[in-house]
């Protein structure tokens, strides 16, 4: 994900970025559900560690985008999708993604991932109306 040029990115590319973040969150939620139901012992720890690592990567991506869009020089009121949907979606996802990047509490991770999915869904659906 290239964070240097979001301001000059097309609406479709911005939507793709949001959908990629949403897909990653969904896949991690599925992994957490599967982990709780089907794994124990050493395999559990290995799978949990892989989930935590992927969550940390997702949270870092959100942080980088969040910091980029909040720089005054990157404000673009001429692109309504960027300013009305993309920026608020990323901001809400980042702010509500409160599980620690290296945390082992799967319930908290799941909750943060659910919030990412929910906020992106909200802004994408809001854009359609």
Query: pLDDT grade, residue 43 (50/70/90)?
Result: confident
Q: Do the beta carbons of residue 109 and residue 54 sit within 8 Å?
A: no
Per residue in 56-95, pLDDT (tens digit) is: 999 999 999 999 888 877 676 677 888 899 999 999 999 9
- pTM of the full structure: 0.87
pLDDT at res. 2: 46
pLDDT at res. 38: 72
pLDDT at residue 55 tops 50: yes
Return the DSSP state at 89.
Answer: H
Give which of 36, 54, 38 is closest to 113, Cα–Cα.
54
| Tokens of residue 120, six digits | 């992106």
pLDDT at res. 82: 87
Output the CA–CA distances (angstroms, integers) from residue 92 to 38, 39, 64, 66, 98, in the order listed.
32, 32, 14, 9, 11
Q: Do the beta carbons of residue 48 and residue 35 sit within 8 Å?
A: yes
Q: Which is more confidently placed, 83 or 19?
A: 19
| DSSP per position, 23-48 | HHHHHHHHHHHHHHHH--HHHHHHHH
């Amino acid at each position: 994900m290239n964070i240097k040029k979001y301001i000059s990115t097309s609406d479709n590319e911005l939507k793709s970025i949001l959908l990629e973040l949403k897909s990653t969150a969904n896949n991690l939620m599925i992994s957490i559900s599967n982990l709780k139901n089907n794994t124990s012992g050493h395999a559990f720890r290995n799978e949990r560690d892989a989930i935590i690592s992927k969550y940390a990567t997702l949270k870092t991506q959100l942080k980088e985008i969040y910091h980029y869009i909040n720089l005054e020089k990157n404000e673009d009121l001429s692109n309504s999708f960027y300013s009305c949907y993309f920026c608020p979606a990323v901001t809400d996802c980042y702010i509500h993604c409160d599980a620690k990047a290296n945390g082992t509490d799967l319930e908290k991770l799941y909750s943060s991932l659910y919030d990412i999915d929910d906020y992106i869904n909200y802004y994408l659906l809001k854009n359609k109306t």
